[in-house]
């Protein structure tokens, strides 16, 4: 099939004649053929594909594993850099990044562990989890109790640190030690009350 070539020209004025290459143009009705009149943008020129990256080790969590990952990456991306001396600035900079990544990885693991009740190790984390269900844990204190002694007439000395025992629900003997004695520590004289209640703590 033959397509005719048409020409469109602009009438030239007598006084101001435009330049010839601005006054006329040739065109054709033939479709799907590249020409200077096509309004379709040419296909973009894509850059060449980048080389494949080394496989990423998502279990790298310490200094040595990060250093190995960066060494493998640099060997593939920058094959001309073969220096591995610790005195080299590039190696020093790479190891500094590995040290920062090691600290960041440790912080991430600690935050993830403290976020659940099963893996939390800090007391403040456990308290915060308990507060989510409107429970306020009491601070840890030693076991305490009150002891009452019935003394015979003439008994004037009840030494400090007197050991007494009690039976626990599971049958185990629990020993207590008195915290104060029958003698008033301020005066050195026996106390005048009939029944002395002595606050004690668990030995």
Per-residue pLDDT of the chain (203 residues; tens, 9 = 90+): 566 787 877 766 665 655 555 677 777 777 666 666 556 677 778 877 776 777 778 888 899 999 999 998 888 888 888 888 888 999 999 999 999 999 999 999 999 999 998 999 998 999 999 999 999 888 877 777 777 777 777 766 677 777 888 888 888 888 888 776 666 666 666 665 443 444 433 33
Report yes or no: 148 and 195 within 8 Å, Cβ to Cβ: yes
Q: Between the CA atoms of 76, 79, 82 and 88, what dihedral angle is there, to the nearest 10 degrees? A: -80
Q: Identify the burial level of 66 via C-beta atoms within 10 angstroms of its C-beta, where 0-12 means exposed, 13-18 middle and 19 or more buried.
A: buried
Phi, psi torsion values for 190, nearest 5 degrees = -65, 150
Phi, psi torsion values for 79, nearest 5 degrees = -65, -20
- Cα–Cα distances (Å) from 151 to 18, 22, 67, 155, 197, in that order, read 133, 129, 75, 6, 12
What pLDDT, on a 0 to 100 scale, did the predictor assign at position 202? 35
Report yes or no: 112 and 169 within 8 Å, Cβ to Cβ: no
Element containing residue 9 per DSSP (H, E): strand 5-9
What pLDDT, on a 0 to 100 scale, did the predictor assign at position 189? 65
What pLDDT, on a 0 to 100 scale, did the predictor assign at position 95? 94
Report yes or no: 72 and 54 within 8 Å, Cβ to Cβ: yes
């Amino acid at each position: 099939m033959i397509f005719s070539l048409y020409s469109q020209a602009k009438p030239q004025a007598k006084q101001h004649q435009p330049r010839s290459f601005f006054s006329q143009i040739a065109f054709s009705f033939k479709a799907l053929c590249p020409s200077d009149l096509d309004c379709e943008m040419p296909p973009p020129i894509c850059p060449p594909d980048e080389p494949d990256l080394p496989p990423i080790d998502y279990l790298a969590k310490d200094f040595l594993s990060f250093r190995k990952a960066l060494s493998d990456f640099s060997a593939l991306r920058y094959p001309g850099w073969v220096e591995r001396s610790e005195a080299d600035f590039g190696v020093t900079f790479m190891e500094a990044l590995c040290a920062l990544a090691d600290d960041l990885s440790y912080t991430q693991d600690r935050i993830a562990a403290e976020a659940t009740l099963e893996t939390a190790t800090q007391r403040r984390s456990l308290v915060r989890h308990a507060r989510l269900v409107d429970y306020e844990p009491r601070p840890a204190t030693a076991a305490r109790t009150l002891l009452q002694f019935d003394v015979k007439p003439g008994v004037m000395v009840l030494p400090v640190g007197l050991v007494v025992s009690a039976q626990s629900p599971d049958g185990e003997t629990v020993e207590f030690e008195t915290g104060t004695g029958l003698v008033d520590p301020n005066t050195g004289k026996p106390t005048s009350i009939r029944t002395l209640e002595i606050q004690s703590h668990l030995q």
